[in-house]
């Protein structure tokens, strides 16, 4: 399995590098890489947030997945920084109108000579680099502190009461999660569109990340628990029920955030704000928008109304897969319509598919490499109770 993942990862890297080096116009390719980056970054960063949620809520069932989530977050650190640096070095001038003022006319209809005077001091290449590096570094630093303290608690060292410290660290990790994801939402969602802004967009982005992250954690966690500690979730009906309820909650929260994002822009009716959003719902992108709506609201909402679905590992896994696909489409609609009219269908190209599978492979290979490098790290902190499954 690992060799297959490595082959898919190598294919993604080679396909992208070759296509970028041989294609005259590469903006769509960089947009596809940015889409892949923000999608997998959001999923992996949510892993430790699930653990923090479960700790603050004092959830017992959540302990089954918490350690897996922590490893997903920490193991992805090298990939997260490396991919961002690649985008910064090669794609900044293709993705961000403000990085190359001479191209402003193509993005906003302004004269190139005058557009530069309207660019905010926030929009500079150096500041883009350092605010992203620093915000991610702070998030990962406190994530590691949380993880290492949880490991101390797990070992049960006498005379050390870590519960209050871990509760504080859980809150700090959530704060920096919001901070770094707000920064990502601004840069890869708002700052690629000239004069477009939305106060609700960052929370809308966070919720999508948590929605996809929890869904992926359930899919991968079910497999990992069975492989590493022989816990079969088919026998854990209470856990399945709780996970189903959580996914239903995020379904409702996501559609509320979608409504909040769009209704404010619709009432304001300011062309500079509404035109970019309308483009994601019409023309060549209309099919993607409606598939997203079905995948993130209609299908999970109807399916999770039924207790039989929530108590079935197969059915709940299928719903979680659909949610992950829906959030990927959401990220695609966040980035791609800015640069393309949608007629090219970049994600159906060999390079597009290679990037999607390569990103998934990078995430899984990082997880397995982490377990190899740190064999003493347990896959779950709640396995002793389930050893007979």
- Segment 101-158, tens digit of pLDDT: 554 444 444 434 344 446 777 788 999 999 999 999 999 999 999 999 988 877 766 4
Q: What is the pLDDT of residue 114?
A: 40
Q: What is the pLDDT of residue 160?
A: 60
Q: What is the pLDDT of residue 382?
A: 64
Q: Report the 10 Å Cβ neighbour count for 216.
A: 25
Q: What is the pLDDT of residue 118?
A: 61
Q: What is the pLDDT of residue 198?
A: 86
Q: What is the pLDDT of residue 387?
A: 45
Q: How far apart are CA 166 and CA 153, in angstroms?
A: 9
Low-confidence ranges of the chain (pLDDT < 70): 101-118, 156-160, 382-389
Q: How far apart are CA 138 and CA 284, in angstroms?
A: 39
What is the per-residue pLDDT across 177-225, written as a single tens digit (0 to 9) for each? 999 999 999 999 998 988 888 889 999 999 999 999 999 999 999 999 9
Task: List C-alpha distances in Å: 336 to 212, 241, 377.
Answer: 19, 37, 39
Q: What is the pLDDT of residue 157?
A: 62
Q: Where are the domains of the chain?
A: 2-379
Provide the sign of the torsion angle of the four alpha carbons 209, 214, 217, 218, taken in this order: negative
Q: Which residues of 250-273 are buried (b: 16+ CB within 10 A; e: fewer)?
A: bbeebbebbebbbeebeeeeeeeb
Q: How far apart are CA 149 and CA 78, in angstroms?
A: 22
């Amino acid at each position: 399995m690992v060799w297959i993942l490595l082959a898919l990862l190598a294919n993604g890297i080679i396909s992208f590098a070759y296509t970028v080096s041989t294609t005259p116009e590469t903006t769509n390719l960089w947009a596809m890489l940015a889409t892949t980056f923000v999608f997998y970054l959001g999923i992996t960063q949510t892993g430790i947030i699930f653990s923090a949620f479960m700790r603050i809520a004092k959830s017992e069932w959540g302990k089954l997945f918490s350690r897996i989530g922590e490893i997903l977050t920490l193991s992805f650190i090298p990939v997260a920084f490396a991919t961002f640096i690649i985008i910064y070095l090669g794609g900044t001038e293709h993705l961000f109108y403000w990085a190359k003022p001479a191209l402003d006319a193509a993005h906003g209809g302004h004269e190139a000579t005058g557009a530069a005077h309207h660019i905010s001091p926030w929009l500079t290449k150096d500041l883009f680099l350092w605010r992203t590096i620093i915000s991610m570094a702070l998030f990962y630093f406190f994530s590691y502190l949380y993880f290492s303290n949880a490991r101390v608690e797990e070992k049960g060292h006498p005379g050390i009461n870590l519960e209050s410290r871990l509760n504080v660290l859980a809150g700090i990790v959530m704060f920096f999660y919001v901070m770094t994801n707000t920064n990502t939402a601004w840069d890869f969602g708002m700052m690629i569109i000239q004069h477009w802004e939305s106060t609700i967009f960052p929370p809308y982005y966070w919720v999508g990340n948590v929605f996809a992250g929890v869904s992926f954690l359930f899919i991968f966690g079910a497999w990992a628990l069975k492989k590493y500690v022989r816990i079969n979730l088919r026998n854990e009906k209470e856990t399945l029920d709780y996970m189903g309820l959580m996914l239903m909650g995020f379904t409702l929260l996501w559609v509320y955030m979608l409504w909040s994002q769009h209704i404010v822009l619709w009432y304001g009716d300011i062309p500079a704000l509404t035109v970019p959003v309308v483009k994601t719902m019409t023309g060549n992108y209309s099919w993607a928008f409606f598939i997203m709506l079905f995948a993130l609201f209609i299908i999970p909402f109807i399916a999770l109304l039924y207790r039989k679905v929530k108590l079935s590992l197969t059915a709940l896994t299928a719903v979680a897969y659909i949610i992950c696909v829906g959030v990927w489409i959401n990220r695609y609609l966040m980035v791609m319509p800015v640069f393309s009219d949608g007629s090219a269908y970049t994600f159906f190209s060999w390079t597009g598919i290679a990037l999607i599978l390569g990103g998934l492979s990078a995430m899984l290979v990082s997880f397995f490499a982490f377990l190899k490098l740190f064999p003493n790290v347990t896959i779950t902190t709640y396995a002793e109770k389930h050893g007979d499954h």
